[in-house]
Each structure stands twice: as C-alpha cells, then as structure tokens.
Amino acid sequence: MSNPPALAGIKVADFSHFIAGPMASMILSDMGAEVIKIEKIDGGDDFRRLGPIAKPQEGPSREGAPYLWTNRNKKGIALDLRKPEGQAIARDIVARSDILLENFSAGVMARFGLDYDTLSADQPRLIYCAVSAYGRSGVLSDRLGFDPITQAESGFMSLNGEPGGVGMRAGPSIMDMSTAMMASNAMLGALFARERTGRGQYLECALFDQAVTMTGFHAMNYLVSGQEPQRFGNDSRDTVPTAAFQTADGPIYIACANDRTWQRLAEQVLDRPDLAADYASTASRIRDRDRILALVQDILRTRPRAAWLEPMRKAGVPAGAINTVKEAFDGPDIAERGLVSRIPHPTLGTVPNIALPIRMAGTPLVPPVAAPTLGQHSVTVLRDTLGYDQARIDALIAEGVVA
C-alpha cells in the first residue's frame, strides 16, 4: 500500500500570477497540497492570454500554453476582490489554509485586508510567502520589475554571450523559475519549522536577490579577487576543451572537466594519443587553448555527430548534441525519462504536460490534472471548502462577486 503524497492535507491560498508564484505553488500541488488559485474576476491571471493559445473543443475558454504550464493540480476560483464580499470569501479561504502565496505589487494585499500583519493576528500558524521583484521593504520595493530586468541589473546578463559582444539574457525565464524553486523551498522549510514551534512566519523571495544568487561563483570570484568576470560564450575559462563544436551535420557540446576526461577523448575518440601526451595537464591546455580548440574542431568536422557521440559515451566523455527544442522533445531521451504526457482538459480535450523533475519513491507525486479554467471550481470551493449554502452561492454569482 503506497503512502499518501508528502503534502497531503496541506492547503494553500494562491493569489499569485504569471510564473514565479504559480510555479512555486505548482511544486507544492504536485507534492499533494490542495492549492486554491484565486484569480481576478475580469479575465483572471493575465498569463492565460499569453500565446500560443490552445483552442477549445467546447465552451468559451481559451488557454495560453504558458498558463497551462505553471498551474496544474490546482482548484480555481474567480473573485472580485474590489468588493467587500469578495474580500470576505478570500479571507475565508485563507482561514482554512496553511500557506498564503502572493506576488502582487507592494500594498495591494494590505488594501484588501490580506496582508500578513492583519491575517497573522488571528491566524498565527499561517505561513505567508510574498514574491516580488525587489522585496517588500526598502527604497527598491515600489519598483516594478521582470525577469530580464533583474538579469540585467544583477550582472547575470553580463556573463552571457560572446566575448566582445553585448551581454545576453537567458532565453527561458530563468529568474522567475529559480525564484519559484526558492519560494517552494522556503515554504517547505516554514512548514517543517511550524511543526517544531507551532507558529507560521512571513517569507519573502525577490527576483533581484535570486538573480544575484544566480551569478554563481563568478560573483564570489569578483569579491575575492576584485577582477571583473568576463564573458566566455560557449567556451570555459577553467577547462579545455569545454566548448561547442561543429560536426559534419550539427553542433555538439563537450565538457572535458579534468585531465582524465581529456586523455579518454584524445586517445579513445579522436585517435590522437600525441595530443594526450603533449597536453597532459589542464594548465598546458589552457595555455594553448586556441590551438587545442582548433585541432579538435578540425577533427570533429569530418564525421556526423552521431558517429562521435556514441564513442564519447562509451569512453566516458561528457558530450551531447546541441538540440533545438523540437529535436529534444521529438528525440528519445525525454521519452525515456517519461517527462512528457497528455492529460485531460475540460474544454480542450487533452493538453500536453511536462512532469516535475522530482522522483519520490516513498511519497509519490500526485497524477497531473490540467490547470483550471477561469472559475472552474468556484462553486466547489464555496460549497465544499467554505460550507456556503446554495442560496448564498447563487447570490454571490448574481451579484458578480464570483465567476
């Protein structure tokens, strides 16, 4: 008999939108938490309308692929928080929740009476997680910010791109996603702490802070040495050859992180034992970096990448094809890991699903359920979670408090 999911019984009131907040709550929902997504009544999460749009088989709902990506395994209710009745419903949901998650602009939750100070006075066990661009206090707190802006300001963008060029943003919204991971870690830590102390707490995660963290050891190198980190593109300043190379039919990436890997590459794959002997140390390869990279490149151009990657795998040389997204998702590796499936959707028939990269043997993740349509579970939440009778529910809908 299998155990229940890790977070079974935990309830989350999710006021968040776009990526960082919704992905954080989705991680909790995948682990079994009951997440109620609370959206504005006039259109809901703006992320719903970011294309490409999945076309419905029935009904008016049209869902954007990005929204579907970050909101599975949640119940959805649409409220007009501008109305006192809508605020009262939101407080009723929070009163039955272990965690509140929000990523509104500064001051919005306080305007609705949903700030931590107000709620925690009557609900000391509440864990309140605020996600923002620059934090909730200090001179930066009133600024609006988005993922690429924090990439730019933190120095992260300056580390990406080719030497001599302009710093480049990462393609995916890496600061939103990594902030979501940090926020989910914080909420899990707060749940564990509550078991010991009996009290909840206020949590804060800011995209800018996360962007600074994501500069990695390059920031520490600067703080220790005072030397400005430089862009190195697909190359590595520390190991050679660690770089992208062209083969006869497409690019690959090789990472020779130590001398042993270089020996295996030169002797067993490239059939150049002389290079293994002449450049046995990392220091010697760094000194003649340009020559080494040019020699390896000339050899790799002579055969298609499949002819190189298989012997590299057998020899223990870390290498892989530089795939397009289509190549990656149409290829065998993602299927082998079981990362993509299709799941039912109430109006779209089925939608694609990308699994969370977590395997939990003792408390498995819950089976995926598609992101809710706008207000899909409004009646269910009002009736089953909050205990409202049908007459009250009908009145709230008629008055435009609930969609």
Q: What is the pLDDT of residues 167-204, one digit of tens each?
A: 999 999 999 999 999 999 999 999 999 999 999 999 99
Q: What is the pLDDT of residues 336-356, one digit of tens each?
A: 999 999 999 998 999 999 999
Q: pLDDT grade, residue 2 (50/70/90)?
A: confident
Q: What is the pLDDT of residues 93-125, one digit of tens each?
A: 999 999 999 999 999 999 999 999 999 999 999
Residue 376 has pLDDT above 60, yes or no: yes
Q: pLDDT grade, residue 47 (50/70/90)?
A: very high
Stronger pLDDT, 59 or 360, i.e. the higher one: 360
Residue 60 has pLDDT above 60, yes or no: no
Q: What is the pLDDT of residues 271-282, one digit of tens each?
A: 999 999 999 999
Domain with residues 242-246+251-321, CATH architecture: 2-Layer Sandwich (3.30)
Q: pLDDT grade, residue 57 (50/70/90)?
A: low
Confidence (pLDDT) at 15: 98
Confidence (pLDDT) at 59: 56
CATH of domain 11-214+336-398: 3.40.50.10540
89-95 average pLDDT score = 98
Confidence (pLDDT) at 237: 86
pTM of the model as a whole = 0.94
Q: pLDDT grade, residue 164 (50/70/90)?
A: confident
Confidence (pLDDT) at 56: 67
3-class DSSP string for the chain: CCCCCCCCCCEEEECCCCCHHHHHHHHHHHCCCEEEEEEECCCCCHHHHCCCEECCCCCCCCEEHHHHHHCCCEEEEEECCCCHHHHHHHHHHHHCCCEEEECCCCCHHHHCCCCHHHHHHHCCCCEEEEEECCCCCCCCCCCCCCHHHHHHHCCCHHHCCCCCCCCCCCCCCHHHHHHHHHHHHHHHHHHHHHHHHCCCCEEEEEHHHHHHHCCCHHHHHHHHHCCCCCCCCCCCCCCCCEEEEECCCCEEEEECCCHHHHHHHHHHHCCCHHHHHHCCCHHHHHHCHHHHHHHHHHHHCCCCHHHHHHHHHHHCCCEEECCCHHHHHHCHHHHHHCCEEEEEECCCEEEEEECCCCCCCCCCCCCCCCCCCCCCCHHHHHHHHCCCCHHHHHHHHHCCCEC
Average pLDDT, the chain: 95
Q: Which residues are catalytic?
A: 176
Provide the residue ranges of all domains of the chain, joining segments of one domain with +.
Answer: 11-214+336-398, 242-246+251-321
